[in-house]
Structure 1
Amino acid sequence: MISVLLIEDEIPAAERLSELIKKIDPQMVILDVLDSIENALDWFSKNAHPQIVFMDIHLSDGSSFEILKEVAIQSHLIFVTAFDQYAVNAFRFSSVDYLLKPIHEAHLSEAIEKCKNLTLKETDFSKLLQALQEQNPSPKKSRFVVKKKDQLIHISMEEIAYFISEHGISFLIGLNGERYPIDYSLDQLSELVPKNQFIRVNRKTIIHIKSLVATSNWFNGRLKLTLMPQPPEDIIVSRDRVVYFKSWLEN
């Protein structure tokens, strides 16, 4: 029996992958299907690591590479994604493999067979993450152009308090309290803003260091942030991001 974990936030994709895995090898057992970084970190903290992990790169709450920064995964890892810009030599490190959506049965079968023939050991993903960063540098913006009534105005990074997602729409909130809808998802914004100034604290919020007034302990190991201007709802740092958030504050 080979134990398998799926980290995939698209239900149709997860169902198709499950069907193909069972078709290729009925002895493979799918332990769980997880749809976010937060759920994955919680799962790994409570369960023995499976033999194979299939991991979509883009999840609902960010890049799955964040999981590798937090967990020393002791599994064969196969990345699955629709974005071929990640198909680089970096994925040849150790027991890592890579599949493009839509997944072809033959390619999946080859990846599974590769895992079966490799010795399972804890993998150091630091070289992989470094190589990905070097080969896929994220383009950074210095300003955003937004619409204000019948005008287009530009807002520099230093004028932004935070980005927030509401009902699937992203908004830029200025330090002056003004808010503008923008045509970027939070996943995209995470890659476009300077990481030493901005940080994604949960699924719905990216903050600028200038907007942070105070940080206090909250329930279940989380943190509550006081921002300026203060948003209508509490801004809570999700538990899986607390360690990274504290490190970001120090640097």
Structure 2
Amino acid sequence: MNALIFEDEKLVALELIASLAEVDPAIKIVGTVGSVKGALRWFADNAEPDLIFADIQLSDGVSFTIFEKFQLACPVIFTTAYNEYAIKAFKVNSIDYLLKPVREDELRQAIAKARSLSQHRGKIAIDVQKLIEALSTPSARKPAYKEHFLGNTHNSWVPVNIADVAYFMRDELNFMVTKTSERYILDYDTLDQIESMLDPARFYRASRHCIVCIDAVQRVKGMANLKLQLILKAPNHQFGIDISRDKAPSFKKWLEQ
């Protein structure tokens, strides 16, 4: 399966390519373009790919412009941090919509769906139409994210509002730390489970061991090795969180959305 990538952040594109190689080595990346103009030139000189991975916000506009210029039949998997584009995204042959940072399990499911639909191309329009109708309902416009967690401390259960959480961390057990530095054990096996319940506009998976809330970030320091170091607001300012160089571009996009 040949795939084309629309992504204006080089390191984010490389991270996606690495994830694809891990998830499905049979996928061949035939090109990476970072602008609308670049994509239009690519389609003028090349045959349509089997699959497109598309960020919505490119360096010179939105990728929907590309689909208005070219009537493409191949499915599109959008990889972006912009929730508000979801409904329009599915109207242009999209088979999935993955929020950044893209999780490998969700990427694997999206690819499996693309392969399945490519064998039954006639069903794609019907499936997408049903998805558009589902996304158009009031309940779909605002995802139901977790509003509070039940923390364990000193043989007691304590309900904690999500607005009071600074970060989640893994240290043998999963912990929730509040903005006032209270620390609670959570009854979840993995951080992946916790991450799936959180609003991605407010919480970012900084590493395998930490999920941070945007409200808890005081500032971000650049480091010589192109990593980033998060300085949290007091009283959590002593807890250091590093962002790898590969994650730095997607983190910056999340921070400024």
Give TM-score, length-normalised by structure 2.
0.50
Partner of 2:154: 149
**CA distance in 2: counterparts of 1:166 and 1:133, whole angstroms:** 39
Q: Which residue in the other structure is 1:31 paired with? A: 28
Counterparts of 1:203 and 1:78, CA distance in 2: 28
What is the count of residue pairs matched by the alignment?
192
Quote how far apart the aligned CAs of 1:243 are: 2.7
Verify the 8 A CA contact 1:97 1:111 in the aligned structure 2: no
User: What SS class does the counterpart of residue 245 from structure 1 fall into?
Assistant: helix
2:198 & 2:123 partners in 1: Cα distance? 40
1:113-124 equivalences under 5 Å are none
Please state whether the residue corresponding to 2:145 is helix, strand or coil: coil
How much has 1:51 moved relative to structure 2? 1.7
Match of 1:68 in 2: 55
- For the structure 1 residues 143 and 51, does the alpha-carbon distance in structure 2 shift closer, same or farther, using more than 3 Å as the test? same
Amino acid in structure 2 at the alignment position of 1:235: D
Change (3 A) 1:52 1:101: closer
Number of the residue aligned with 1:246: 256
Task: Quote the offset at 1:69 in angstroms.
Answer: 3.7
- Of residues 152, 165, 168, the one that matches 1:163 is 168
**C-alpha separation between the residues in 2 aligned to 1:111 and 1:92?**
16
Question: Percent same amino acid among aligned pairs?
Answer: 12
Alignment of 1:65-214 (within 5 A): 68-71=55-58, 72=63, 76-79=74-77, 93-97=91-95, 107-111=117-121, 131=136, 135=140, 137-165=142-170, 170-182=174-186, 183=188, 189-190=194-195, 192-193=197-198, 198-200=202-204, 202-204=206-208, 205-214=210-219
Counterparts of 1:45 and 1:92, CA distance in 2:
21
Question: Secondary structure of 1:163's partner?
Answer: strand
Counterpart for residue 129 of structure 2:
none
Instruction: Name structure 2 gaps, 5 residues minimum.
Output: 6-15, 43-47, 67-71, 79-85, 97-108, 126-131
Query: Letter of the aligned partner of 2:119 in structure 1?
Result: S
Q: Identify if the C-alpha distance between structure 1 residues 230 and 11 changes in structure 2 by more than 3 Å, giving closer, same or farther.
A: same
2:3 match: 4
Question: How far did 1:202 drift?
Answer: 2.9
> Which amino acid in the other structure matches residue 175 of structure 2?
F
How far the C-alpha of 1:226 sits from its partner, in A, is 0.5
Measured after TM superposition, the shift of residue 245 of structure 1 is: 0.9
Q: Structure 1 residues 215 and 133 mapped into 2: Cα distance closer, same or farther (>3 Å)?
A: farther
Quote the RMSD (CA, aligned, Å): 5.0
Shift in CA distance, 245/220, structure 1 to aligned 2, threshold 3 Å: farther
Which amino acid is the alignment partner of residue 231 of structure 2? T
Deviation for aligned residue 1:152: 1.0
Per-residue CA distance 1:60-81 (angstroms, 9 max, x = gap): xxxxxxx63445386733459x
